Structure 1
């Protein structure tokens, strides 16, 4: 009875467990990497792709001279021999990675050494032909081919495909059995995607932005080139840059596009929203006048303009052209009211994420109008006490540049050629009274022709836009003295293409601006895309 009971236990009750243990003892399972989808720019240029590579592994039980084998591997693969000794001397296993995703030529060199216990698998490796150009946009993948940052992360589910499986039989002491492949499930390749980015324009924007940050003496900067008619992001960058091909020295802040992921107080470029709201409501025209004292008292604070001036009377157009904080505050207070401004800020989407297809997008920051003190109410009218991202303000200017008051969702993805799936993006009517757009555009032209943005003028084109100078807070929450965040955002009205460009440089002395950088980027874009003045 005991013998029968034991047989039942072994052959029936524990049969599956013992069978699994037996299979595990004579097999080794390896995951096969799929080909990750290729990423193209809008003109079909390859931005990221997988190429053939070799993964080198070992059976430590077959290696009799660990030190010599490690030295020979280091001679081909680089690095110190000690890097490889750990894998070669791993205990209680018949499988250990020596080095993954090695260039094929290096794999062939190692193979030619004929080292005992060293084996090879066909693999794939991610490469970025343009190096650091658009590196932040594309992002990083890990050694297993999983997206870590940028679009590699955002679209990981369609780019990565499905891994395959290889199960190899092994004999005594882990020796592989020739031809003993038990399972060979091929990997399923990922899908390709096409982006809105023009890599050549992206390169120019990155180079010009970096030079601008250096020339202006800033800490970092951002630039956006956005198509107001479609929502396509043609180029976008934030310093410092990232090279996905070289991870040896990744600078802090380089792994994301801060124009998307970081809030800032926009300063005077936000005045355009205040004027748009007043013009929409029919409360003012460009010729509406306002008496502007030297300063305004609000609570225990004083508000003044950036440049010293005497008390004067200005038209609304002059207030915007000269970027008067006092004039903007009084016009909103006397005509629209702060409640009306708050409602329009929400309508314009200047407090919400845009929905861009990029991980970690920042939302705006704005407290409810019911909590505003008088000083905060004034401050918001000219872009202080409110935070948003550069992409959010660019989208708003796009609604003006389009002439229709429609804001499109900023985006990178424009096509999935592998599946043929149609890609669509939302749009929204954010400026209801479109009769306000033409006079507002004329006022923005006045900023460039007669006001603070004269050096932003693009030769041969009418240029509209707004300068911004914003204070920023330090770690204690106090505004830093004599240092500012400077920006400019604008477009070319009456042109055959409605591109909007934002340029911002942070932590710089006041007596500088970003207008020249904007001008150069728009000049390059006008030439590249053959934009004509209507």
Structure 2
């Protein structure tokens, strides 16, 4: 018995010893040999990362009007488990179908979604119809949720909204091809959004901290904070009002001529700031998904399409001949046709019978191909003509700060007489882009300087407050200032001669307009040309003696092959006449003849008065101001105008802004007053009944909002002048190509 007890004790003791040996080995294995693995696993459980989203930068026009910004958005979600538990599936499906216009079958699939075990799932997003919806639709969904609660006496309905952010373009399709858009996931797709994506989106911040199993932050947590870097804010050279004029004029021409496309670009020729750029057909970046069946609407013809320009290209040989002192406006030639050495067939004017023997000036006004073959091919010669083509930038990128620009190609075969001759009137081996055409004519308008076009006026880093301003950049002096003035005087007569000038449809009463028409017959794709299809255009600027705006209009395949003068000229006229009035450029009026018998011109001040806007709806007021060319800003969230500044019938200085005020919402909205005079700023702030503090003198350079004694206070920092920063570097890729024909006619 004693022996048995000893054996049993020894066995139990051995088992216990073995157990502890195994335990010690296991502990050693875990804590020593696998310490790194388990340390990482533990850290993963108590360490947490919280991401802080960066705010994407805003894009605004030159006057501070918002063109793109981040706004709250809401995604509709459903909880199949709750909905089916309550037995309200059919009601939810029908209600959301009515609100979101999502097919019933797809909603049914979401509401009845189950996992592999046959259990109802939780929280399913309704994409795409219920994804990132706007405030108006969100309110309707909330009303529906409220109706479900009251109708079934429940708190949880299984339908909800998740707050998110989305990119919003408050002016709809306006300037769409400049802005581009971001998709629903926030990825930049095209336009400025894509080109400057890195600067716009900024960098998300991070907070790393430690917590216990319940998620409560540990008292000795070793936090690591990576600050958020918000995206930069962009101010463009675009003027929303001028952009409106452009798109309205294009819409009328598009309806009348039913072309494949229309492109218009407008710029200040003295700085090459782009004032407006548009293509039609266009798109609304807020609803980009609606254009999936027609991706061509996203194509920016202004910088990506190469084509034979026709007679608008004649500005190059004309300017070259003037610069080389070869152009004699009174010298004559025989119009109609011309034969050149080395080419068997004659080259013709658009009117093959010609106009008889006419002066070179009349040849310019009538857009005679023969006149320009003589000027460009015979007088200048192929080498000098090509040198001017290169100097005007047609074989290079302009450098505009938009993505996807292609270069023109003007490269005739050496010693090929027809190819070198037809270049002089914009046909054959000459392919250009609209932005190149506008840049070239601007060089004539501004005194001979080829400049880099740009759409970014300034970039502000909200993290540092630093503002970088784009300075005008001269590429080269193409022709002398004197030659530019002389060339401009001939282009002015193309418009002013209402009998012979091909540009007479662009004539604007009271303003001196210089310009050139173009009607280029299009290639048929088989090595020839289709004379029933043309690309009509007008290229010009005004006032001719002191240019404020240069515009290029090109209409691709207008109905009935309408020419550049008849189709594009009126579009130019409508845009420029409204813009000059909007800019406050004084008109000229006829006065009595002077002693030399010439009719003198006198300036008429274009001073206008403020219209009466009180009592109108905000929408009516905006439409009236847009239609009449006023610069304005709407302040508040109400539907009706309650006050305005300046008051009605107040004389307005050129470019002075009108403010229309409606009812304020929960949060007081302070307009952007930068660039305004102190007097105007004080008047607006007094209307808003806010506290005011002023530092410095001159014009408003900065404004800061704060609260003092429970009242909103705005501090204005004034400066007598604007201080500018450094240039914005730009780089753009190259792409594209197109064909030609030496025998095509143009005007």
TM-score, normalized by the shorter chain, greater than 0.5: yes
Corresponding position of 2:642 = none
Contact 2:373 2:422 (8 Å CA) reproduced: yes
Contact 1:34 1:124 (8 Å CA) reproduced: no
Q: Which fold has the larger relative contact order, with Cα–Cα distance below 8 Å and residues 6 or more apart in sequence?
A: 1
Change (3 A) 1:288 1:17: farther
Instruction: Name the SS for the 1:458 alignment partner.
Output: coil
Corresponding position of 1:305 = 349
| Shift in Å, 1:287 | 2.8
Corresponding position of 1:51 = 71
Match of 2:320 among 277, 297, 311: 277
Tell me whether 1:216 sits opposite 2:257 in the alignment. Answer: yes
Tell me whether 1:365 sits opposite 2:395 in the alignment. Answer: no
Corresponding position of 2:630 = none
TM-score (norm 1): 0.86
Corresponding position of 1:376 = 419
Change (3 A) 1:343 1:179: same
| Shift in Å, 1:136 | 2.0
Match of 2:56 among 29, 32, 36: 36
Match of 1:436 among 483, 495, 505: 483
1:100-134, Cα deviation, whole Å (9 max, x unpaired): 53446458669877659988754212111111111
Question: CA RMSD of the aligned region, Å?
Answer: 3.9
| Shift in Å, 1:502 | 1.0
Tell me whether 1:123 sits opposite 2:123 in the alignment. Answer: no
Contact 2:269 2:443 (8 Å CA) reproduced: yes
Tell me whether 1:421 sits opposite 2:458 in the alignment. Answer: no
| Shift in Å, 1:374 | 1.4
| Shift in Å, 1:476 | 3.7
Change (3 A) 1:437 1:495: closer
Distance 1:3 1:325 in 2: 101
Tell me whether 1:136 sits opposite 2:182 in the alignment. Answer: no
Change (3 A) 1:162 1:307: same
Contact 1:202 1:235 (8 Å CA) reproduced: yes
Instruction: Name the SS for the 1:254 alignment partner.
Output: helix
Contact 1:348 1:430 (8 Å CA) reproduced: no
Distance 1:4 1:288 in 2: 112
Distance 2:126 2:502 in 1: 61
Distance 2:211 2:355 in 1: 91
Corresponding position of 2:266 = 225
Contact 2:539 2:552 (8 Å CA) reproduced: yes
Corresponding position of 1:243 = 284
| Shift in Å, 1:2 | 9.0
Distance 1:279 1:64 in 2: 83
Distance 1:28 1:383 in 2: 66
Q: Which has the larger radius of gyration?
A: 2
Contact 2:145 2:157 (8 Å CA) reproduced: no
Corresponding position of 1:202 = 243
Greater shift after overlay, 84-93 or 96-105? 84-93
Instruction: Name the SS for the 2:557 alignment partner.
Output: strand
Question: How many residues were matched structurally?
Answer: 528
| Shift in Å, 1:515 | 0.9
Alignment of 1:320-339 (within 5 A): 320-339=364-383
Distance 2:284 2:210 in 1: 41
Distance 2:33 2:581 in 1: 78
* Unaligned stretches of 5+ residues in structure 2: 1-20, 150-154, 588-602, 604-747
Change (3 A) 1:507 1:102: closer
1:431-463, Cα deviation, whole Å (9 max, x unpaired): 233321122111111211232111110110121
Change (3 A) 1:103 1:219: closer
Instruction: Name the SS for the 1:247 alignment partner.
Output: helix
| Shift in Å, 1:520 | 1.0
Distance 2:305 2:205 in 1: 39
Corresponding position of 1:294 = 337
| Shift in Å, 1:302 | 3.6
Change (3 A) 1:90 1:195: farther
1:157-212, Cα deviation, whole Å (9 max, x unpaired): 1221223568999999xxxx687899997854322211111112211211111211
1:285-342, Cα deviation, whole Å (9 max, x unpaired): 3234334453436635442111132474333212211111122112222211011111
Greater shift after overlay, 182-191 or 243-252? 182-191
Instruction: Name the SS for the 1:224 alignment partner.
Output: strand
1:349-387, Cα deviation, whole Å (9 max, x unpaired): 1221111111111211122x5536211111111111211
* Unaligned stretches of 5+ residues in structure 1: none
Distance 1:63 1:24 in 2: 36
